[in-house]
């Protein structure tokens, strides 16, 4: 059903290319500029490699590497030269692109942001990572929710980033808002390989949604990223999987959003995205539509608390060398904001 990896594109298909990009080391502005050009060149390679490709997806940390460096000198802005280069690359090659930036935040820590740019160079989706990989990552938690857009060939498209995909609520939110394809970009290393695989599959199956997922690849001399480009069909079947660990390989497949829509409408058994809000509709008209989940009601009321809350050891980033924060979510760092 993947059309030989997208070589044979159907009228209703969307061909995805997941780039297992070589993990870079970026320390200076010059490094940032050089890595920007690497990504621009890879956009062109993706287009040359497959004329049917609709969307090329780059992993989280494609531009900055895995150092967790928050130096303002190498942080990006939406109106900066890096994003401008990505927009031009998409327009020049008539292709949609998904990109990762670490974004300067004048009110606090940088955002880990994802962008989707269309084939004319317009920014269509802007997302801030909701769940930084604590205690390892220093990024500000995302504050804008999960956008869903009209993507290539009429698909409904969402983007989450790395650790986001370990929370089933994130994929459910994407599907609930209409996403037929959920992209998950990541910088994960080998210890996460198994959980990466089964969460990509469960996120797809539990929501009748295609998931398209990719990590950085190769080594920077310290970290070893795993690649693992993986496109999963809405029934949980892996359609394409980059298992070679070869850096800069592009994993491709054609997916069918029209069949996602068909399944969501016609499936009875395991139409879980519908049945979640219509419990037991065989027994009661329309099914139960209450919220029986304590964690949901507690979270909404601002009183989420685990039975073992007081015993949790890691509650900040000090174990990974970061200072314990004093600023609450939503508060601004006034000294930074004034700059």
- Alpha-carbon distance of 313 to 7, in angstroms, equals 50
Asked if 291 is an active-site residue, the reply is no
DSSP of 140-152: PPP-S---EEE-G
CB contact set of 129 (below 8 Å; sequence gap of 6+): 60, 111, 112, 113, 114, 139, 141, 142, 160, 161, 162, 163, 164
Cα-based angle 257, 260, 265 (whole degrees, multiple of 5): 135
Asked if 87 is an active-site residue, the reply is no
Q: Among the options 90, 162, 174, 215, which is catalytic? A: 162
Helix-strand-coil split of the chain, %, nearest 5: 30, 25, 45
- Alpha-carbon distance of 162 to 131, in angstroms, equals 9
- Alpha-carbon distance of 20 to 10, in angstroms, equals 25
Pair type for strands 230-232 and 210-215: antiparallel
* C-beta atoms surrounding 157 within 10 Å: 27
Pair type for strands 210-215 and 181-186: parallel
169, containing H or E segment:
helix 168-176
Q: Among the options 9, 76, 103, 129, which is catalytic? A: 129
Q: Among the options 9, 60, 90, 217, which is catalytic? A: 60
- Alpha-carbon distance of 94 to 51, in angstroms, equals 10
Asked if 270 is an active-site residue, the reply is no
195, containing H or E segment:
helix 193-205
Which residues are part of the catalytic machinery? 60, 129, 162
């Amino acid at each position: 059903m993947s059309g030989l990896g997208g070589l044979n594109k159907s009228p209703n298909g969307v061909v995805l290319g997941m780039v297992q990009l070589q993990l870079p080391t970026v320390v200076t502005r010059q490094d940032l500029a050089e890595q920007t050009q690497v990504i621009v060149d890879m956009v062109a390679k993706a287009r040359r490699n497959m004329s049917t490709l609709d969307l090329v997806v780059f992993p989280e940390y494609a531009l900055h590497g895995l150092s967790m460096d928050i130096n303002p000198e190498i942080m990006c802005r939406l109106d900066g030269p890096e994003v401008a280069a990505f927009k031009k690359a998409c327009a020049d090659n008539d292709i949609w692109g998904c990109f990762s930036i670490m974004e300067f935040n004048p009110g606090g820590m940088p955002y880990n942001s994802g962008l989707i740019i269309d084939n004319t160079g317009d920014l269509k989706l802007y997302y801030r990572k909701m769940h930084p990989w604590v205690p390892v990552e220093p990024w500000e938690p995302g504050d804008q929710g999960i956008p869903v857009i009209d993507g290539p060939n009429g698909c409904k498209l969402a983007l989450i980033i790395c650790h986001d995909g370990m929370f089933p609520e994130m994929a459910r939110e994407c599907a609930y808002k209409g996403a037929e394809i959920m992209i998950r970009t990541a910088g994960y290393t080998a210890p996460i390989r198994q959980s990466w695989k089964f969460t990509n599959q469960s996120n797809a199956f539990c929501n009748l949604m295609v998931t398209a997922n990719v990590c950085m690849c190769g080594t920077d001399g310290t970290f070893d990223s795993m690649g693992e480009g993986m496109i999963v069909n809405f029934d949980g079947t892996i359609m394409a999987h980059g298992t070679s660990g070869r850096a800069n390989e592009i994993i491709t497949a054609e997916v069918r959003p029209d069949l996602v829509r068909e399944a969501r409408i016609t499936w009875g058994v395991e139409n879980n995205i519908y049945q979640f809000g219509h419990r037991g509709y065989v027994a009661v008209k329309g099914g139960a539509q209450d919220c029986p989940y304590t964690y949901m009601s507690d979270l909404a009321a601002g009183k989420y608390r685990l039975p073992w809350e007081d015993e949790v050891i890691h509650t900040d980033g000090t174990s990974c060398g970061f200072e314990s924060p004093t600023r609450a979510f939503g508060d601004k760092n006034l000294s930074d904001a004034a700059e």
